[in-house]
Structure 1
Amino acid sequence: MELIAEIQQRLAVLEPESLDVHDDSAAHAGHAGAASGGGHFELTVVSAVFTGQTALARHRRIYNLLADLIPSRIHALQIRALTPDEF
């Protein structure tokens, strides 16, 4: 399964109103930390599930869903986790 599709599938449990996964790996080609093949991704998730949660709690929830992909397939992950009102 393509990695972006896998990320989207795993985050579907958050019932996102909007989910954008951008592979930014090409901009980091040759980066020492990415030598193992792990990619760089930007992620924006908009979900009512985040209502009342701190930014840290939101990020932890996302990291827990993707934990086994880090650092082997995902080297770097930039996260924007928002409620619908914040979006």
Structure 2
Amino acid sequence: MTVKDAITNKLREAFSPESLDVTDESHLHEGHSGHRPGGETHFRVYIVSKAFEGKSRIERHRMINTTLAAELEGSVHALAIKALGTGEG
């Protein structure tokens, strides 16, 4: 299983999102800190879930970071997050 698949699966399980897009942007960071050959180090997440309704941006990011703690402590160097509640955006 790829890191992208692991991230996608964990976010689906934790938040039952209406919309979810996980993009590996590692190729955009070649030569920068944290990049490794083969990628899977820099990701962008766009997620819409009822779980984020009434939560601040910081609370939403903390929820996602907690869910992905193993990946963030391991191979993932950077994670850009856009998390919205249902009907936002």
After TM superposition, is the score higher than 0.5?
yes
Does the 8 Å contact 1:38/1:71 carry over to 2?
no
Aligned equivalent of 2:32? 31
- 3-state DSSP of counterpart to 1:52: coil
Percent of aligned pairs with the same residue?
A: 40
Structure 1 stretches of at least 4 aligned residues deviating more than 4 Å after TM superposition = 35-38
Does the 8 Å contact 1:42/1:79 carry over to 2?
yes
The answer for unaligned runs of 5 or more in structure 1 is none
Matches within 5 A, 1:36-75: 39-75=41-77
Aligned equivalent of 2:15? 14
C-alpha distance in structure 2 between counterparts of 1:22 and 1:30, whole Å = 19
The answer for unaligned runs of 5 or more in structure 2 is none
Aligned equivalent of 1:5? 5
1:27 partner amino acid: L
1:30-60 CA-to-partner distances (Å, cap 9, x unmatched) read 2123259661111001001111111111000
C-alpha distance in structure 2 between counterparts of 1:27 and 1:71, whole Å = 21
After TM superposition, the score normalised by the length of structure 2 is 0.88
Does the 8 Å contact 2:48/2:85 carry over to 1?
yes
